[in-house]
Structure 1
Amino acid sequence: MTFEDAASAIAAAGRRMDAMGWVPATAGNISIRLAQDEIAITCSGRHKGLMTAADVMAVDAAGAPREAGARSSYETLLHCGIYRRFAGAGAVLHGHSLANTVLSRRAGTSIRLAGYELLKAFPGGSTHDTAVDLPVFDNDQDIPRLQQAIDALWDDAPGAPPGYVIRGHGVYVWGADMNAAMTRLEALEFMLLCHLEEGRHSS
C-alpha cells in the first residue's frame, strides 16, 4: 500500500469512528503498516472526524518521524508494539468510547465478554458459546513502561484476542488490514456497550 492510499484510509476510518462517538475532541489514533519498518499514523492533536490525508504522517518501526518537524501521537509506541509483536497486524485503531472508558474504570485486570454472537469477529470465535477476557492495563503516561506491561502479558498469553483497554482511557484493536480492524472495533464496542447496559439494569 502506498502512503497516499494509507492516509486516505486512515482519514476515512477517523470519520467513521467520529460518527460512532468513539473519538471525542482530539482523542484516539489510527495507523496502517506500510512496510516492515514504516507506519502511517495520525498526527498529534487532530480531530479524527475532520482529518484529511494531510493529517497523517510516516514513522519508522521505532516511532521516529520520517519528516523533520512532524509530531505523531504520544502513544505511537503502542502502535509500534503491536506491529512488532504481531506480524499479521496491518492496521491499529485506538478509540475512547463511553463504554470502554466506564467499564475499564470499574474492572479488575480484564473485562469478560461471554455469549455474544459478535465474539465471532475475533480469531477462533466460530461460535457465540465462548468467552473472551479483554485485558485492562492501568493508565500510565510512561508509554515505554506501559508497553513493557503489555509485552509481559503477551509473553504469558500469546493467544490473547487482538485488543486491550487502558483503564479510563481507551481501547486498542488491530487486524490484518483496516477493514478487519474496523470490524473488530465495531464488534468489540457493541459488546462493551451491551455489557455496560446489562450492568446498569442489574444494579
Structure 2
Amino acid sequence: MEFQAIAQSLVEAGGFLAAQGWAPATSGNYSARLADGTVAITASGRDKGQLTPDDIMVVDAAGKPLQTGQRSSAETLLHTSLYQAYPALGAVLHTHSIDGVSLSRWLLARGQASLVLTNYELLKAFPGITTHDREVEIPLVANSQDMVALSQGVLDRLAALSMPVGYIIAGHGLYSWGTTVAEARRTTEALEVLVSCALKAALLGPTSV
C-alpha cells in the first residue's frame, strides 16, 4: 500500500512538472524514499507527462533494481546519494526546464559557481524561510556522465551550505527535494520560477531591479 501511494504521488508530480514544460521528451526523473530504506523511482526512458504507477520501480539504497528486467535512470545515484547524506529527505525531483538549462550555461560561461537568490517573496516557499530578506545559494556543477564523480561533487558542494534546497547541473537541469513528494513538488516549482526570474533579470540588466 505504501508503494502504491508513493507511486501515484510521483505520477501526479510528473504530470504537473511536464505540463509546465519542465520535462521535455523523456527527460527528468523522480524518486521517493520508502519506509524500509528502498527508493521508488521512475524507470528509464518514460515520458514524464504520461506516467502510470507501472513506470515506477524500486531500487535499493545503492541504486540497484530489486526486480530483474527493470532499468532505472542512469542518474539514479544522484538520488540515492542524497538520501544517504540527508536522512530527512523523502523525495527528490529532477527537471530539465529551458530557463534552468539556459541560465546554468550562462552562469558557467561567466565563471560563476552558484546562483544566489535574494529579495524574492517566493523564497518563503522553502522550508524554514519566513522572509524575502534571505540569500539562498543554489550550487552550479559541471555536467558529467561519470555518476560516481558527479554525485560526490554535488555532495561536496551541498555540505558547505546550512540549508540546501537544490542544485543545478550546467546544461542539464535542476535537482530539488523535500521531506515528502508534495513538499518536493512545491520546492521544485518555486525554484523553477525563481530560476526564470533570475534569467529574465540577467537579460534585462541592472535596470530591471
The answer to whether TM tops 0.5 is yes
Deviation of 1:8 (Å): 1.0
Point out where structure 1 has 5 or more consecutive residues left out of the alignment.
none
Alignment of 1:1-203 (within 5 A): 2-107=2-107, 108-157=112-161, 159-202=162-205
Q: 1:59-103 CA distances to partner (integer Å, 9 max, x unpaired)?
A: 000000010110001100000011111111111100001111011
Structure 1: which 4+ aligned runs deviate by more than 4 Å? none
Distance 2:168 2:81 in 1: 15
Within 1, Cα distance between the matches of 2:158 and 2:190? 22
Deviation (angstroms), 1:202: 2.1
SS at match of 1:35: coil
**In structure 1, distance between residues paired with 2:157 and 2:193:** 25
How much is the aligned-residue C-alpha RMSD, in angstroms? 1.3
Deviation at 1:196, TM superposition (A): 1.1
Supply the distance in 2 between the matched residues of 1:124 and 1:102 (Cα, whole angstroms): 29
Where 2:192 maps in the other structure, the secondary structure is helix
Q: Distance in 2 between matches of 1:174 and 1:165?
A: 12
Task: Tell whether the 8 Å contact from 2:158 to 2:164 is kept in structure 1 after alignment.
Answer: no
Q: Output the amino acid matched with 1:150.
A: V
Q: What CA distance in whole angstroms lies between the structure 2 residues aligned with 1:187 and 1:163?
A: 11
Name the amino acid aligned to 2:152: Q
* Structure 2: runs of 5+ lacking an equivalent: none
Q: TM-score, normalised by structure 1?
A: 0.95
Provide the aligned length of Structure 1 versus Structure 2: 202
**SS in structure 1 at match of 2:27:** coil
Cα distance between partner residues in 2 of 1:16 and 1:150: 26
User: Shift of residue 54 of structure 1?
Assistant: 0.6
